[in-house]
A and B are shown apart, each in its own frame.
Chain A
Amino acid sequence: MGTRTLKSIQVQRYLVPVTAWIFSGIVLLFLLFPLYWMFVSSFKTNLSLYRIPPQFFPLNPIGDNYVEIARSKAFLTYFGNNFLTSISTTFLTMSVSVLAGYALSRMRSKVADKVCVGLLSTQIFPVVGLIIALYTFFLYLGLLDTRTSLVLVLSATAIPFSTWLLKGFFDDLPLSLEEAAEIDGCGKLRILTDIVLPLSKPGLLAIGIYTFMVAWDDFLYCLTLIVSDSLRTLSVGISMRYLGEVSYDWAQVTTVSVIGSAPMYLLFLFFQRYMVQGLTAGAVKG
C-alpha cells in the first residue's frame, strides 16, 4: 500500500462518518420537524399561532382545541365513520385474501404465480380513472352514497397485495403438518382454520395493518362516492369542513390532524415489526 492510499483511507475514516452524521441528521430534521410543528401548533390558540416570531417551545400550552374537537359532533362522526369503514374493509379483505392466498399457494403451479402478478398489476390503474365508471355502476345499483360501496372498493384496493403477501407466507410454511392432518381425515377448510392460520399470525397482522392503513388514508373514493355529510370519512370531512368553510382555523386544523394521525401512529408503533417484515419481504426477494 502506497502512502497515498494510506492517507486516503485515513481521510475516509473520518470523512465518511462525519458526512453520514450530517446527511442523516438533515434528513431526520426535515422529516420530524413538521410533525413536531403539527403537535406544538395544536396546543396554541389561533391568536398565538398568528404571532411573529412564532413560539417554537410554547410557554403555556393549552388543551382547549382538543376539548373543542371532542365536543364537535361533525368530527366525531367523521372519525367514527372512518373507523367503521376501515375495520369493515380490513375484515373483508383479510377473510377474502386468506382464502385466495391459500388456494394460490397450494395449487403449486406456474399459473398461480402468473395470477398473482396479474392481481398485483391492478395496482397500476389510477383511482381517478376507475372512479368515473364506478360512479355510474353504483348509481345504477343504488349503492351510491352508502358505506357498502366504500368498503367494497377499498377492499378491492387492498386485496391484490394482501393475497400476494399471504401466498408468499403460506409458501414458506412446512407442508408436513397439513399432510399429516389430511391423512387423519381432517377436512380442507379445517386444515386452513386450525393449522395454517395459527401459524400465520405475522402474515395476517401484516396485511391487517396494511389494509387498515390503506382504508384510513382513503380520500378520493369518499370524495366521489359519498354525498351525505353523515357518512363522510375523516380525510374528506376535515378537508371540507376545516379548510374553506371556517376559512383556515389553523388551531383546529392542526388539532384534527394530530387526532386523525394518532391511530396510525399507535398501530404503527405496536405492530411495526410485522408491517416492516411484510412490506420488505417481497421487495427484497424481488
Chain B
Amino acid sequence: MHFLKGRDKNKIFYLLLMIPAFTIVGTCILLPLVKSIILSFQEYRMVGPIESRGKWTGFSNFLAVLHGNELSNALYITLIFVFFVVSLEFFFALGTALSLNSGISGLKQSKKNVLQTLILLPWVTPTVICALLWAWMFQPQYGVWNYLLLQLGLIHAPLGWLVDVSLALPSVIITALWRDLPFMFLMLFAGLQTIPREPYEAALIDGAGTLRRFVAITLPFLRNVIRTTLLMAIITNFKQFPLFWTLTQGGPMDRTTNLSVLTYKKAFINLDFGQAAAIATVWVFGLVLFALVYTRVFQSGERE
C-alpha cells in the first residue's frame, strides 16, 4: 500500500482495528434489532408447521397486541415501577451522599471510603441472588420482615408480600430499590466530591443557609451527574427482567407483568415470536424516543 499517503494509511489501520468490536456489536445487537422489527410484521410461531414461519401479515401482530389490555397493563406496571424505584433511589441516594459528604462534619476520607464500600455491596450482588434473598425475607410464615413488622406492632397478621395482589409490585420495587440505590449513591457521591470548597465558604460568609447553599451551589454543580444517572436508572429499570421473573414470574394476576415479562412470556411461553416482536418494537421505539427527548430537554436547558 505504498501508494497511499501516511494519513490515509493511518486511517485504514484504525478502521481495521475497529472491525472486531463493530462486528460483534453489529451481529448481536443491531442485526437482531432489525430482525426483530421484521418479525413483528410476520407470522412466526414456534409451534405448528414450519412453513407458516415468516409469512408477511402486515400490522396484524400490532393490532392483536393492542386489542387486549395486556399491553396497556404492562406499560402501566412498568411506568409505576420505574417512577417509584427511580424517585425513591434518587431521594435516598442523594440524602446519603450529602450526609456522608458534608452533613456529618469531620468524617475522615478513610471512613468515607469504608462506608462507600459497605453501601456498594448490594449493587455487586448478582441480580438473581438479590431476588432469592428478598424472596426469603418476604416469605409469609418464616420471613424476617413479617416477624419484625408484627413485633413492632405495625401489622396484625402476616402479609403475603409476593403473592398478595396489591403488595406484589411494591415488594419488587423495594427489592429493586435495594439493588440500585448504591449505584446512584456512588455517582452522586463522586459528583459531590468534585465540587470545590470556595463557593460554599463565600456563601457562608454571605450568611446563606443550608438549603440555600444546596439549591444555589450543590445542585448546579451536580447537574451533569444527575442528568446521566437518572437516564441510566430510568433505562435500566424500564428493562428490568430478572428481578420480576425470579420473584413473581409476573403474577399474581399479572400485577407484576412489566413490558419485559410480557414480551418474554409471549415469545417463550406462548411461543408466538411475531407478537412478541411487535410488543418489543412498540416499547423499544417508545424508549428511544424518550431518551432523545430527555437529552434534548436537558441540552436546551443547558444553553440558557
Is the Cβ of A224 less than 8 Å from the Cβ of B241? no
Which of A5, A31, A127 lies in contact with B121, CB distance below 8 A? A31
Given the interface contacts A261-B129, A283-B190, does A21 sit within 8 Å of B104 by beta carbon?
A: yes
Is the Cβ of B209 less than 8 Å from the Cβ of A8? yes
Is the Cβ of B125 less than 8 Å from the Cβ of A132? no
How far does the alpha carbon of A239 sit from the alpha carbon of B245 in the complex, in Å? 10
Residue of A nearest to B261 (CB): A128
Residue among B39, B44, B96 with max Cβ neighbours from chain A (10 Å): B96
Is the Cβ of A217 less than 8 Å from the Cβ of B127? yes
Q: Does A198 contact B (CB under 8 A)?
A: no
Q: Does B288 contact A (CB under 8 A)?
A: yes
Is the Cβ of A127 less than 8 Å from the Cβ of B241? yes
Is the Cβ of A216 less than 8 Å from the Cβ of B126? yes
Given the interface contacts A38-B133, A265-B124, does A219 sit within 8 Å of B241 by beta carbon?
A: yes
Q: How far is the CB of A205 from chain B (nearest CB, A)?
A: 15
Q: How far is the CB of A94 from chain B (nearest CB, A)?
A: 11
Q: Does A238 contact B (CB under 8 A)?
A: yes
Is the Cβ of B21 less than 8 Å from the Cβ of A100? yes
Q: Which residues of A contact B (CB under 8 A)?
A: 1, 5, 8-9, 12, 16-17, 19-21, 23-24, 27-28, 30-32, 34-35, 37-38, 41, 49-54, 92, 95-97, 99-100, 102-104, 106-107, 119, 121-137, 152-153, 155-157, 159-160, 163, 188, 213, 216-217, 219-220, 223-224, 234-236, 238-239, 242-243, 248, 250, 253-254, 257, 260-261, 264-265, 267-269, 272, 276, 279-280, 282-286
How far does the alpha carbon of A124 sit from the alpha carbon of B153 in the complex, in Å? 44
Residue of B nearest to A130 (CB): B32
Residue of A nearest to B290 (CB): A124
Q: Does B224 contact A (CB under 8 A)?
A: yes
Q: Does B160 contact A (CB under 8 A)?
A: no
Q: How far is the CB of B260 from chain A (nearest CB, A)?
A: 5
The interface residues of chain A lying within 8 Å CB-to-CB of B39 are: 132-133, 136
Is the Cβ of A188 less than 8 Å from the Cβ of B13? yes
Is the Cβ of A254 less than 8 Å from the Cβ of B225? no
Q: Does B291 contact A (CB under 8 A)?
A: yes
Q: Does B67 contact A (CB under 8 A)?
A: no
Q: How far is the CB of A256 from chain B (nearest CB, A)?
A: 8
Closest 4 CB pairs between A and B? Answer: A20-B103, A286-B224, A156-B28, A129-B280
Binds A, one of B79-87, B163-171, B263-271: B263-271
Is the Cβ of A16 less than 8 Å from the Cβ of B190? no
Which of A38, A97, A137 lies in contact with B21, CB distance below 8 A? A97
How far does the alpha carbon of A41 sit from the alpha carbon of B44 in the complex, in Å? 46
The interface residues of chain B lying within 8 Å CB-to-CB of A133 are: 31-36, 39, 277
Is the Cβ of B263 less than 8 Å from the Cβ of A129? yes
Is the Cβ of A124 less than 8 Å from the Cβ of B288? yes
Given the interface contacts A253-B132, A283-B190, does A134 sit within 8 Å of B28 by beta carbon?
A: yes
Given the interface contacts A1-B207, A30-B178, A153-B28, does A128 sit within 8 Å of B241 by beta carbon?
A: yes
How far does the alpha carbon of A231 sit from the alpha carbon of B288 in the complex, in Å? 34
The interface residues of chain A lying within 8 Å CB-to-CB of B14 are: 103-104, 106-107
Q: How far is the CB of B199 from chain A (nearest CB, A)?
A: 17
Encode B211-239 as 1/0 by CB contact (under 8 A) with A. 00000000000001101110000010011
Residues in B98-116 with C-beta less than 8 Å from chain A: 98-100, 103-105, 115-116
Residue among B121, B181, B209 with max Cβ neighbours from chain A (10 Å): B121
Known: A12-B209, A157-B29. 20 other contacts (CB 8 A): A1-B207, A5-B207, A12-B210, A21-B104, A35-B121, A50-B142, A130-B33, A131-B264, A136-B44, A159-B25, A217-B126, A217-B128, A219-B241, A219-B242, A235-B126, A235-B127, A257-B132, A261-B129, A284-B191, A284-B194
Residue of A nearest to B103 (CB): A20
How far does the alpha carbon of A220 sit from the alpha carbon of B104 in the complex, in Å? 42
Q: How far is the CB of A215 from chain B (nearest CB, A)?
A: 11
Is the Cβ of B118 less than 8 Å from the Cβ of A156? no
Q: How far is the CB of A179 from chain B (nearest CB, A)?
A: 13
The interface residues of chain B lying within 8 Å CB-to-CB of A103 are: 13-15, 17-18
Is the Cβ of B96 less than 8 Å from the Cβ of A23? yes
How far does the alpha carbon of A202 sit from the alpha carbon of B92 in the complex, in Å? 30
Is the Cβ of B13 less than 8 Å from the Cβ of A134? no
Cross-chain pairs A/B with CB under 8 angstroms, 25 sampled? A1-B207, A12-B209, A19-B99, A23-B103, A31-B119, A34-B122, A35-B122, A41-B136, A99-B18, A100-B21, A100-B22, A121-B291, A122-B29, A129-B283, A133-B277, A136-B44, A157-B28, A219-B128, A235-B126, A235-B127, A235-B129, A235-B242, A254-B133, A264-B124, A283-B224
Is the Cβ of B18 less than 8 Å from the Cβ of A124? no
Which of B27, B119, B239 lies in contact with A28, CB distance below 8 A? B119
Is the Cβ of B260 less than 8 Å from the Cβ of A54? no
Is the Cβ of B25 less than 8 Å from the Cβ of A27? no
Residue of A nearest to B15 (CB): A103
The interface residues of chain B lying within 8 Å CB-to-CB of A8 are: 209
Given the interface contacts A99-B21, A123-B235, A238-B132, does A283 sit within 8 Å of B229 by beta carbon?
A: yes
The interface residues of chain B lying within 8 Å CB-to-CB of A243 are: 132, 135, 246
Which of B15, B24, B98, B227 lies in contact with A96, CB distance below 8 A? B24
